[in-house]
Amino acid sequence: MSEPVESDASLLVVALDINSSAWARSLLTLDSALQQTIIFINAYLALKPENQLVVLASSKRQCKCLYPPENKNFVPEQDIQVYEQFRVVDVCILAGIKEMLMGAEVAAADANRGIEEGQTLISRALSKALCHINRVNESTLSKIWSRILIISAAEDSPREYISLMNSIFAAQKMSVLIDICKVIGGDSVFLQQAADISGGTYLKLDVAGSESLLQTLMFTFLADHYTREILYMPGNEQIDFRATCFCHKRVIDIGYVCSVCLSIFCKMAPVCSTCRTKFSIRLIKPESRSSSASNGQTTRTNSQQALSVSNSASLSQGTLL
């Protein structure tokens, strides 16, 4: 992997969380957050004319690409106040979000089947972003450094854990940074991991305090790969590495790990639901394990552990890192 140089262009994917029920709980309104995000996006476009941009919006039901617009010949009304390049982006984003919010209100009538109010489809936005980045990388010869910025409002949704983790590792492989700006609520376990694994920055904004979204965006998330090698980035030392179980989608501290496919379960099961491996009952039963071995001996869920018991399929219990 080559080093970023100053003249390299970058590709930024901004994923906006527009979950209205999450924003309703915040001091910062969605409206003003949008305005500040758009200024940030304009600033990004001002940095280099070669810079490319993708804007995604994600609500609890759908994830849509707002920019570049689907309609290629989209030409907004003439307005001499604003720099041409900025205006097209701004108009696209605002129109797209308005449309999505209106649509959401209509759809709210049909039952929220299994959808929790305060959760957003972040994994969908991430995979869309990665697809777009991949397409751009394939179609251009010169190096483009890509990163994803998620402006997140909603809580973690455990049912997304698996797809989210897959996206994060894909991003790591493609050397795409994932930056997280958590605007509302508590820390997000999954997104912290996303930023940490991909080498991005995770910041939780204290809106109630004096911090402004715009200043944070400008200060931290505007820097491209090259600048990040020169300037310090605010980091997060304490990262919650907990995982969710595959069976009940709960965030757990201690669980069972399939020695074949490394799936995580909160409860014992005779058969792994992911790879269909049958576990030997002798090993599963707690009393069959020597009490001294399980006593206080914590094992890390890594591949070495899985290899050591590879011959007889077993379900090993240990503290998850």
Partner 1 sequence: MSSSEEDFKSTIAEYLEALPPQFCRRVFSNPAACLAIFRLLSTVGKQLIMSMLYLETPIKLHDVHQWARHSHLRLLKSKVHQLRKLHILVEEKGMVSLNSIFREQLRNALTGGGDFSSFGVPYRGSDDSSSSSSSRVAAGRLARYADERWETILHFMVGRAADVRPPSDSVRGILKMSKLMEEGADGMRITNRGFQFLLQDSASQVWTVLLQYLRLAEIQDMDVVEVLNFLFQLVSLQLGKSYSAERLTGNQRKMLNELRDFGLVFQDERDPKRFYPTHLIASLTSGSGSSEPAAASATGDGKKDSGGAGDTAVARSKIPGTSVMAKQRFSELLAPSEKGYIVVETNCRVYAYTDSPLHIAILNLFVHLVSRFSNFVTGVLTRTSVRRALSHGITADQMIAFLTTHAHPQMQGNVPVLPITVTDQIRLWEKEKNSLHPSPAHLYREFAQKADFERVFRYAQEINVILWASIEKRQLVVSRQGHPKIVEFIKGLKNQQQQQKQNA
Give Cα separations from 121 to 25, 66, 89 (angstroms): 18, 16, 23
Which amino acid, residue 154? A
Q: Does 85 bind partner 1 (CB under 8 A)?
A: yes
Edge-first strand listing for the sheet containing 315-319: 264-265, 254-258, 315-319
Which of 54, 57, 11, 12 is closest to 33 using CA atoms? 57
> Quick one: which of 201, 212, 269 has its CA closest to 236?
201
Q: Which amino acid is at 159?
A: R
Question: 106 or 141, CB closer to partner 1?
Answer: 141
Letters for 51-70 (x = contact with partner 1 by CB under 8 A, - = none) are: xx---------------xx-
Residue with tokens 């799936």: 263
Tokens read off for 164? 């989210």
- By CB under 8 A, is residue 3 in contact with partner 1? no
CA distance 265 to 273: 9
The span of 35-43, 252-260, 274-282, 289-297 binding partner 1 (CB under 8 A) equals: 35-43
319 binding partner 1? (CB under 8 A)? no
> Which one of residues 83, 99, 112, 250 is an interface residue with partner 1 (CB under 8 A)?
83
Q: How far is the CB of 149 from partner 1 (least distance, A)?
A: 15
The only residue of 1, 2, 3, 73 in contact with partner 1, by rule CB under 8 A: 73
Q: How many CB atoms lie within 10 A of CB 182?
A: 21
Give the C-alpha separation, 279 to 190, whole Å: 29
Contact between 313 and partner 1 by CB under 8 A: the answer reads no
| Positions in 186-225 near partner 1 (CB under 8 A) | 212, 214-215, 218-219, 222-224
Nearer to partner 1, 52 or 314 (CB): 52
**Span of 2-10, 200-208, 247-255, 282-290 interacting with partner 1 by CB under 8 A:** 2-10
Please identify which residue in the block is written with the tokens 């994994």.
Answer: 123
Question: What are the residues binding partner 1 (CB under 8 A)?
Answer: 6-7, 9, 39, 42-43, 46-52, 68-69, 72-75, 78-90, 139-142, 144, 212, 214-215, 218-219, 222-224, 226-227, 229-232
